[in-house]
Every structure is written in C-alpha cells, then in structure tokens.
Structure 1
Amino acid sequence: MLAKLKVVLKDSEHRHTVIHAVLALGIRILGAAMAFLFNLAIAHQLGAEQSGYFFLAFSLVMIFSAIARLGFDNTVLRFTSANSFNGKTVKAILHFSLKYSLPVAFLLMLLVYFTAPFLANMVFDKPEIVTTLRSISPAIIGLVIVALVAMSLQARHKLIASIPCQNIAHFVLCGVAIICLNVESASSTALYLSLSLASTACFFYWLSLRGLNDLGRTVSEGELWISARPNWVIMMMSQAVQWFAPIMVGVFLISEQVAFFSVAQRIALLTSFVLMAVNLVVAPKFSAFNSKGDLEGIRKTALFSVRLLVVSAFPIVLVMLLFPEFLMGLFGEEFKQGAAILQILVLGQAVNVVTGSVGFLLQMTGHERDMRLVTLISGFGVLISVPIFTKLYGAIGAAIATSFFISLQNLLAVYFVKKRLGFNTLKFWQKM
C-alpha cells in the first residue's frame, strides 16, 4: 500500500493536488467548525422558534444572492484560472462581474425589504418574521461580493484567503456578536449577519486586489457572458436544490420544523466539506488542463480526487448515519426530532461526494450547457416535488425529495462527463 502511494505521489500533479487538498481540507475543517459553532450558537441563544425564523430568512437571501450573481461564480473561476499570473486580467474579470451583479443585488435587497410584510403574512403566515427579513436583506449584497471575490482568490490558489472569505469570516464575526451581546432574537441576529458580511466583503475585496501586477489583456466581455449565461441557470437551480426545501417547510409548517430541518441540513453538508476542499484545488487545474488541451491530465486529476474524497468522507458519513440523535441533540433536546431528517439528507450528500467534482469538470472544460441541463432537471424536480412532499409528509418529505434530486443531479453529471470527456468518475479504482 505504501509502495503504491509513493508511486502515485511521484506524479507532480498528484503531489500538488494532495498537498493543496490537505491545506484546503485543514482550512475547510476550520470553516466547517466555525459554521457548526455558529449554528450551534444560534440554536442555543435563540431557541427553536426564533432560530427557525432566522434560518428561513437566511435560506431566502441565499437564493436571491445566487440570482444576483448572474452566473459569474464559475466564470470568474474559469477565466481567472487561465490568467492567474496576469494581474490586469484578474482585476478586469472581477470588476466586470461586480459591475453587473451588484445593481441586481441592490434591487433584490430593496425587493425583500419592501415586500417583507407580504412575504411574512401571505407567503409564510408568520407575521413575526417581518423585521428579520428587513434586517437580513442587505446580506444579499454582501453574499454576492464575498462569493465572487472568493472565486477570484481560489482561481489564483490563494486558499488561505479564499475559504475564510466565503465561509468563515462573517460567521465568526456574527457568532461573536450574538454571544457577547447575548442576542436572543432572529431580527438582531439577521442584522449582525448583514453587518458582518459588509465588513468581510470590504476587507477581502481589498485583499484580492492587493499586489496585482499590470500584466495581461482586457478580457472579451462577450466571452464572459457566453460562459456566464448557462452558469447562471446552473447556479440558480443548484441553490434551489439546496435552499428551497427549508423555505417550503417554512410555508407549510411551524418555525420549529424549519429549525429542525435547517440544522439537519447544515450537519449533513459537513459531509461534503471534503468535496468543497478538493474542488478548491482541482477546479483551477481542470481549467488549466483544458486550456492546454490535456484531457489525460483532466482524467488523472479527476479520478485521483475521487479517491481522496471516498477515503476522507466515508467515516463522516458513517458517524452521521449511526449517531443522528446525538448530533442533533447537541443543538438542544428538542432538535433530536430531526434525527431521521439528518439521515436522509446525509445519503444525498454521500452520493454528491462519491461522484466527485463532476459539476466543475463540465463547467471548467466548456460544457456548461450540459451542466445547465442537469441542474434544470434536478432544479425543477425540487421545485415541483418539495412542496408536494412537504405538504403530505412534513419535513421528512422535504428531506426525501431534496436528497433524491441531489443524487440525481450528480449521477446525470457523471453521465455527461463520460459522454464528453470519456471517463467515469464512479469507477475511481480504474488505472490512472
């Protein structure tokens, strides 16, 4: 076994992938811990009812921020990766994405702010959530900035900055605020999250531009839009798959059920933090290999990354499946009611991990339209099935529908990777 490992690590690309994946994983573990502690703090400080209001509002702004980014997430990642040593080009790509995304984010912020009474009373039938929706609405702008800046940093392999930008800094700031100030309401928590995101966005935007050189060219706006349009559909549908269920739980069920579902969902997402860590490393590699026409490099990196994922994620999946009540009970005795929800959602995330970085494989190699079709199928599946299943079977039904379509999305992406690139990521044991 050791001899085989040494042979594998002789390959410079595999060695680079392992080293940077371990680095990214370490930072991701920190990020996952911070997110976990943030959710834990909210559950304990606010209780099930108020935390349900907060998680419901947070799910809503996550979807709106995905809409506002106009699909530039992976466009920034792809084109910045191919021009990572050209500071002028890196800056132009980031500024182009922000120029169009921020006005949309501002309009959506106003929409949420002024329609908050309608949403609270007519959509969610929860009048108490009006102030929470208004307080969290500026977070849409902050989420847009940190997502695009994080992608720019990731493309340049600045993982130590990229991961905190997107997943750590604002949770830490907000968590410290609600604990130190003994916050007990969803509306105050929402306000502190918005302020934390504003601070994080400003700092990491400055950091991302610091030290860039004047090399490079002005990028083709038409080329960026060609990539962004299908990516926009991909991003919106992917966010719908992830965040639509808690919104529907909020529409049909009481706020405590939103809290149980949201906490279970966030614990289940810890399963895929290994995948996210590996994606941070391999996505820019896929883009760089594709720009050189190196299909074999893409294949080897993809299969090697799946092996890393299976070995790393299996123990986490096992713990979540065997001890769901213990994990949910950490958030409070009443949260144990969500144990079955956690088990169902973990199964969907397990499929997400074992299929590997198939979404990035398609997007970084110019097959965004295939990924768009995949996400349209899964996205519309969620939009149709989750309301029906939630109304019939409650939060358990929402979890079943969500988990099924997460699995379907990844399996369809595996099919298109095989069709377009000629290899199957599920057969990760095949010779590299």
Structure 2
Amino acid sequence: MSEDSTGETTEDIAFGGGVTLVGTSFGKAAKFGLNVVLGQVLGPSYYGAYTVLYGVVSLLTDVSLFGMRDGLVRFLPKYDTGENTRDSEVLVLSLGVTLGLSSATALLLYFSAPDVAALLLDDLQVVREVRVFALAIPLYAIVLWGAAVAKGAEFTGYYTLVQHIIFPGLQLVLISVLLTVGFELWGAVYGFLLACFGGVLSVSYIVVKCTPEFQFPERFHVTKPLLSYSAVMLLVGLSAILLSQTDKLMLAFFTDESGIVGVYTAASLLAAQLSIVLASLNAAFAPRISSLYTRDRTRDLSEYYRTVTRWAITITIPPFILLVTFPEDFLVIFGDEFASGQLPLVILSAGYMTNIATGPAGTFLRMTDGHRVEFAIVAFTVASNLLLNAVLIPKYGAVGAAIATGVSIGGSNVVRTGIIRGRFEFTPYSRPVFKPLLAGGIVGILGLWIQRFYEVQGPLAASSVALPLCLVYGGIVVVLGLEPNDKEVLKSLYRRLIDG
C-alpha cells in the first residue's frame, strides 16, 4: 500500500469512526444511565423483571419488523432514481407489514400476559406490566421503522437524532420522572410506553422530511424482492437478538429469583460497554472494505483490517483492565445489592475482549460476499449458546450464564478469523499490535497490586485510580513507538479541529 493510500485509509477510519462514536455516545450514555436509575430505584428483583420483559418486547418487535429495517436500507437507495415510484412502494409495503405484524404480536402478548408472567417471572402480579409492554410494541416498531427510513434515505443526521438521541433521551427522562414520584416498576413500564408515543411523533416528522417526493403507488412491483431479502435479514436479526437475550431469559426460566437476573443484567451491561469502540470503527469500516474488495485491492484490505483491529485493541484495553480489576466497585453504581455480580462481570468482560481482539471479522465477512457464512456462524453461535446456557445455568446460575455467553461471543469471532485467513491468507494481526498488549500487561499487574494492597471502594475511588493507570498505559504505548499511520491520523484530526 502506498503511503498516500495508507494515510487516506486510516484517516477515513479514524474520522468516520469518531463521528459515529460521537453520534452514538449520547444514546449509549442515556441507556446506561437509565439502567443505573432502574437498578438504584427498583433493586435487583424488580430490575430483573423489567429487563426480562424488555427483552421479550425487543424480540417480538424485531419479529414484527420482519427484517424491514435492513430492507429499507437496502432498497431505498436502489430505487431512489426519480424516474419511478418504487421507493414509495418500499415505504408503503414496509410500513404495512410492520403495522400488521406488530398489531398482531401486541394482541398475542396482551392476551397471553398471565402465561408469560408465570413462565418467565413466576409472578402473576406483573400481568398488568406485561400488557402495557404489549401495547408499546406497535409504537416501538414504528419508531425503529422511521429511523430505518432516515438511514435508507441517507439522512444520517436524522437517523442518529431518532435512534440515538430522541428516543433514548425520552426513555431516560420519562422513566426517571415516574420512578422519582414513586411508581416503581409500574412507572418504568408506563415511561417506556410514553417514550414510544413521543418517538412516533418525532419519526412522523422526520419521515416526511426525508421523503419529500413520496407518491402513493398504484401498483407494487417490489413485493417479492423486498420480502425475500427482508426475510433473510429477519433471521439474521433474530439470531443476533437471541444471542443478546438468551442468557437473561434462560436465567429467568431456570431460577426462581428475578433478583439474580437483575444482578446479572447489570454485569452484562457493564461488560457490553467494551464493544463501543469496535462498533464505532465498524461503521466507518464497512463501506470502505466493500469498496476495496470490489476493486480487488487485497493488500489495502489487509492493512485496513489490521489497522482497525489494532486501534480497537489499543483503546479498549484500559477499560477492560479496570472492569476485571475493580468489578465490585463498578457494579455498586447500580446499588450495593449488585456487588455479587463481580464474577459474571469478569467472565463476560473476558468474552467481549476476546471478541474485540479478533477485530471486525463479522463486518469483514458480510462486506466480502461472506454473508451466508456469517449467517451460518451466527445460527451456530445461537444454538451453542442455548445449549451451554441450558447445561450450565441449572448448576452454576449466573456464573454459568456468563461462561456460556462469554464462550459464545468470543468463540464465534475466533471462527470468523480462521475463515478469513483461509479465504484471504491474512490475519488481523501485525507486529505493532503487541505494543498495546505489552502495555496492558504491565498496567494490569499494577492494577492488581493496587487492588490488593490499597483499599479501593466504590466507583469514585475506582475512577480516581483509573486516570493514573490510563496515563501509564498511554505513556508506555508512546514510548514503545507510534506507527506512521497513527501519527498521520493524529495530525489530520488536529488539523480538522483547528479548522473547525
């Protein structure tokens, strides 16, 4: 790869990933803040009940969308030629499918609420909450549909506004207010319903802004290709949601206490924050890797892949060290009762770090004609995760769920990396990746020494230790030497900041 090509490539990764990171940070912070509020106010038992019911609603809403979020992103740009109304056909058909399926799903959950409450929570007192969640399904589906319209119409700003700012912000504010005045679990569920109402109002305005040339179609020509594509993406989406919710739902099924689910959910939420950097880099990585693959620029593809992996590892190592060194001190953010989740937090963090250490392998496969292989891997991962949870939870409880999920998350990307190596004859690693690993090893030992010989209690104390540890880590990385493309990116970002 030429020097100019390298600079352009790495600058695009950094800037694109940075923009995405900034755009999604508010949403991540709002969701995390909401879960902290729920944990603090509701306690482990009711917090666990809320997360289980929310997981059910998320799964049913994804079924109701029938893969149309991906279908909109795929077909709106394809038919946006100004010469026909097929983009309008996509809008009407996707909305009709979403409204029909979400309404039917909501009715099914509403009338089966007693059975759901008994099966998952062993508590008939939450039937009312299940039914309120059921009423929210059509509204929630419309919010996600509207965000997908903005994304498919290439109004990224509107998409980010709805998906990562307005809707998460409404949930945080409304649920917090209702909890503050004493409504507890009932208030949390009603707050979600009200946030969905607000989200529908916002997406209604945004969809109109994003589709100024909409014309109601007289006939539909896109029914078969849209439904065929969306059906496949539904399976992929369901597999991903099942993978993210299986541990919590099966823990609720095999245990009698929703408090265990609440503690485990807090640990899972903290560990999941480790993936933020890789997810942000992936957003910038996906279109570029597709372009390089199409032009058969294998050498540039290899460099791109290794750069993203190295940056993801370098940036994620410090928070990983903090979570595994001071797990109890971060868990008490949710409340003192959540401190018992420290072992699941350590196990899950190790699983996520393994996933990050193998780089953006899933995105790489999807963007290089490996989407069928990717679906097979996801399906196998879901099946193995179900089996591992079924075997380990009855014996080890929350720790068993963490082992099952950590192995599934980490192991699937190891398999992807092997497949990529077989197809392209390169791996996501190069010599420079050992610099952050060495720095992380040194700082990890230092963190364990501090944890053993000094009393660190609570998130504030752990945060006060975090800053010097991160400075030491960064100093070691700099002393070991930055790569030429790292220096070029830093210079470029500095120029962009100076230029406004």
Q: How far apart in 1 are the matches of 2:429 and 2:91? A: 34
Selected match of 1:247 from 246, 249, 260: 249
Q: 2:10 maps to what in 1?
A: 14
Q: 2:176 maps to what in 1?
A: 179
1:389-408 alignment to 2 at 5 Å?
A: 389-408=392-411
Q: 2:261 maps to what in 1?
A: 258
Partner letter of residue 180 of structure 1? V
Task: Kindly state the Cα deviation for residue 156 of structure 1 after the two structures are TM-superposed.
Answer: 6.1
Partner letter of residue 39 of structure 1? N
Alignment gaps of 5+ in structure 2? 215-219, 434-482, 486-500
Q: How far apart in 1 are the matches of 2:334 and 2:35? A: 8
Q: How far apart in 2 are the matches of 1:402 and 1:71? A: 25
1:421-432 alignment to 2 at 5 Å?
A: 423-425=426-428
Matched, 1:59 2:58: no
3-state DSSP of counterpart to 1:210: helix
Q: 1:231 maps to what in 2?
A: 233
Q: How far apart in 2 are the matches of 1:28 and 1:162? A: 11
Give the TM-score normalised by the residue count of structure 1.
0.86
Task: Kindly state the Cα deviation for residue 257 of structure 1 after the two structures are TM-superposed.
Answer: 0.7
CA separation of 1:224 and 1:272: change in aligned 2, threshold 3 A: same
Task: Kindly state the Cα deviation for residue 170 of structure 1 after the two structures are TM-superposed.
Answer: 2.5
* Matched residues, number: 427
Give the TM-score normalised by the residue count of structure 2.
0.75
* Farther-moved stretch of structure 1 (346-355 vs 238-247): 346-355
Q: How far apart in 1 are the matches of 2:76 and 2:294? A: 12
Tell me if structure 1 keeps the 8 A contact 2:155–2:210: no
Q: Deviations over 1:261-305 (max 9, x none)?
A: 111111111111222222333334445556667666655544333
CA separation of 1:267 and 1:229: change in aligned 2, threshold 3 A: same
Q: How far apart in 2 are the matches of 1:106 and 1:179? A: 28
Matched, 1:195 2:188: no
Q: Deviations over 1:224-270 (max 9, x none)?
A: 44433332222111111111111112122201111101111111111
Matched, 1:414 2:417: yes
Selected match of 1:385 from 385, 388, 406: 388
Matched, 1:310 2:313: yes
Matched, 1:135 2:123: no
CA separation of 1:260 and 1:123: change in aligned 2, threshold 3 A: closer
Q: 2:100 maps to what in 1?
A: 103
Tell me if structure 2 keeps the 8 A contact 1:50–1:186: yes
Give the aligned CA root-mean-square deviation in angstroms. Answer: 3.4
Tell me if structure 1 keeps the 8 A contact 2:366–2:374: yes
Tell me if structure 2 keeps the 8 A contact 1:230–1:372: no
Partner letter of residue 204 of structure 1? V
| Identical pairs, percent | 21
CA separation of 1:266 and 1:421: change in aligned 2, threshold 3 A: same
Q: How far apart in 2 are the matches of 1:189 and 1:119? A: 18
Partner letter of residue 209 of structure 2? R
Partner letter of residue 16 of structure 2? H
3-state DSSP of counterpart to 2:397: helix
Q: 2:282 maps to what in 1?
A: 279
Q: 1:376 maps to what in 2?
A: 379
Task: Kindly state the Cα deviation for residue 144 of structure 1 after the two structures are TM-superposed.
Answer: 3.1
Task: Kindly state the Cα deviation for residue 159 of structure 1 after the two structures are TM-superposed.
Answer: 4.5
Structure possessing the higher radius of gyration over alpha carbons? 2
Q: Deviations over 1:329-369 (max 9, x none)?
A: 11111110111111111112112222333323333444322
* Farther-moved stretch of structure 1 (103-112 vs 414-423): 414-423
Tell me if structure 1 keeps the 8 A contact 2:23–2:164: no
Q: How far apart in 2 are the matches of 1:121 and 1:417? A: 45
3-state DSSP of counterpart to 2:427: coil
Tell me if structure 1 keeps the 8 A contact 2:119–2:253: no
CA separation of 1:414 and 1:69: change in aligned 2, threshold 3 A: farther
Task: Kindly state the Cα deviation for residue 314 of structure 1 after the two structures are TM-superposed.
Answer: 1.8
